[in-house]
Structure 1
C-alpha cells in the first residue's frame, strides 16, 4: 500500500471520519473534501492527490471523478446506499464498489420508529400547539398501534429490526421483499398490492433502483388505505413528492414522516414546508453516535480488503 516514504491517498467526501476508522488508515494520507463538497471540489482533489480509494459520506461519485483519480481502485460507501455511486462507470473502469452493510441498521430502524410514533401520536403538532397556549385534550385522538397493520417494503437488516419492534407492539406485520426467502417470527410475506391495501402504516426499507423509482405515485398512493401513515427512511427517489403532497392535502394519508428526499439537501422553499401533517428530518436516520463509528470502520475495512486483494492478485 506504500511505496518508499510515499503514502497513497484516501479521499473522504466529508470533513471528518471516526477516529477508530482513521486508526485503520494510518498507512495512507487521508484527505478530507469538506462539509459539503461540490463535484468540482472532489474532481480537483482527485486530480491533485490521485487517491487509491474514495470513502463516500456526502454527495455522489460519478465518472468524471473516477477519471480524475487515475489510481482509484475502490469506492467505499460510508453506509449502505450505493445508489449515489455510478456503479456502471465504476465497473467499466475496474473499480470496486463496496457498502458498509448493516453498520447503521439499528440507527435507521430507531429513527423509522421515531417517525412512525411521531406521526401516529402527532408529537410535533401537539408540541407546537402547547407552545401557542392551547390544551387539546378534549379534541385530540391519536392512533393506537396495537392491532394495526404495519407494512414493510424491504426486509433487510433495517426492515427486520423495524418488524421486530412492530411485533412487540402487538401489530400485524406484513412485508414485501422479492429477495426474502423467509420471514422472521410474526411477519407475513405478501405481494406489494396486498401490502398497500392492508397496511395502516407503510414504511420503506429498500434500496433505490431503476425499477422502483417513484414506486409511490398517484396511482399507488390512491391504493393505500385512506388515513394511512407513510414513513420513508430509505431513499427519496422512491416517492413522487408532488403526488405525496396531494395525498397529504386531500386526507388520503393521515400523515407522513420523511428522512430522505428526491433532491438533497431538500430544496427551499419546498411544498412540504407548508404541509402540517408531514414530519421532516434531514436524512439523519443513520447518523447516530454508534453508527458513525460503525460506518467509518466498515468503510475503512472495505477499502483495506479491496486494496489487499488487488495487491495479492498483482503478485
Structure 2
C-alpha cells in the first residue's frame, strides 16, 4: 500500500485515500475528501460510503474484493475495481497445482518420515490418469486448466455461470463432479449463496479417498464436516490455504491432523505478483480519476454513471 501511495504522489495524483492499518475506515479523518478509495481487507459498506460524498471509485489492489459491498456501491453508481493481474492468476494456478502434487505424492508424510528415520512412505499416485474436479470457472481456474491439460488428467468443471465449450474439459453438475473426482479444487468466490457450499451432504457425495484443495475462500467449507471426513479417511487428505477464521486459531483441530497441508492464505504470493500489484492499482486509480472504467470493473454492466466513459484503460 505504501508503494501505491508513493507512485500516486510521483504521478501528482493525491486524490486517493490509502487505507491500511485500521479495521475501521471511519477512523480516517481525510475520508470525506476521498474521490477514489484503495481498500484492502477493510469492510466498506453503506456507512463508509456515506462518509465519502465525493467518492468516484473503489479499488482493491488484489483479486479479492469481498470486503467491499458491491451491491451498495452499484446502487450509488460507484465503480468497484479489483486487481486482475496476469501474475496473480498465474501464481495462484501454479501454487494450487503444487498443492495437488504434494498431496498425490504425499510430500508432507515423506519428509516427516525422513526426519524421523522411519520407513519410506508408500502409495503415492501420479496426476496422470486422475480425475480433477474444479468448482468455479474464473481466471485462476482457466490458468489451472491450461496447465493441467499437459498432465493427461481428466478435467471436470462445475460453474454457476454459463457453460462454455472448451477442448479438454467437461462441464458437469456439482453432484457428478464430487462423485467421480479423485481431486477436488475449490476455486470459486464466496458469497451469500454458497457459504458452506461443501457441507456434510456434499462431503458424503465425494468418493472415499478423495483429495481436497481450497485456495479460494475458507467460508466455502463447513470445517466441522471436513474435519470429520479427514479423521474418518473419507477425505484422504487436504491442502488448505484459506479458513473461516484467519489467521487459523492456534488451537484449531486442523493443526493436529497429519493428513492436512496448511498455508496462511499466501501460498500463491510471489515476488512477481507483488511487483505488479501496485502498478496495476495505480493504473486503475488514474483511470477512474480520468473518468474511465478499467477493464476489471466488477459492476460495469450495472452502473448508471455518466461521469465515466465506457472504455478500458
Calculate the TM-score normalised by the size of structure 1.
0.84
Query: Which residue number in structure 1 is paired with residue 173 of structure 2?
Result: 191
**Pair 1:113 & 2:97 matched:** yes
Is residue 28 from structure 1 mapped to residue 18 from structure 2 by the alignment? no
2: CA distance, partners of 1:160 / 1:127: 31
**3-state SS of paired residue (2:28):** helix
Distance 2:126 2:5 in 1: 39
The one of 80, 101, 112 equivalent to 2:63 is 80
Contact 2:179 2:206 in 1 (8 A): yes
Aligned to 2:81: 98
Conserved 8 A contact 1:149-1:199? yes
How far off is 1:252 after superposition?
0.6
| Residue of 84, 103, 109 corresponding to 1:125 | 109
2:51 aligned residue? 68
Shift of 1:168: 1.1
TM-score, normalization: structure 2? 0.84
Q: What is the RMSD computed on CA atoms of the aligned residues?
A: 2.6
Alignment of 1:173 onto 2:155: yes
Instruction: Tell me if 1:264 matches 2:246.
Output: yes
Report the CA distance shift for 1:24/1:165 in structure 2 as closer, same or farther (over 3 A).
Answer: farther
For the pair 1:53 / 2:36, whether they are aligned, the reply is: yes
| Unaligned stretches of 5+ residues in structure 1 | 1-13
SS in 1 for 2:81: strand
For residues 71-125 of structure 1, what are the alpha-carbon distances to aligned partners after superposition, in whole Å with 9 as ceiling and x for unaligned?
Answer: 3221111122222211233234432211223541101101111211111112123
Instruction: Write the distance in 1 (CA, Å) between the matches of 2:9 and 2:275.
Output: 12
The residue aligned with 1:253 is 235
> Equivalent residue of 1:291, what SS?
helix
CA gap of 1:133–1:30, structure 2 versus 1, over 3 A, is: farther
1:201 aligns with 2:183: yes
2:145 is matched with which residue: 163, 182, 204?
163
Residue 234 in structure 1 maps to residue 216 in structure 2: yes
Whole-angstrom CA distance in 2 between matches of 1:58 and 1:124: 31
Alignment correspondent of 1:4 = none
1:237 partner SS:
helix
The CA distance in 2 between the partners of 1:32 and 1:230, in whole Å, is 37
Checking the alignment, whether the CA contact within 8 Å between 1:51 and 1:71 is kept in structure 2 is: yes
Distance in 2, matches of 1:17 and 1:307, equals 15
Q: 1:24 to 1:294 in 2, by over 3 A?
A: farther
For residue 282 of structure 1, report the CA deviation from its aligned partner: 1.2
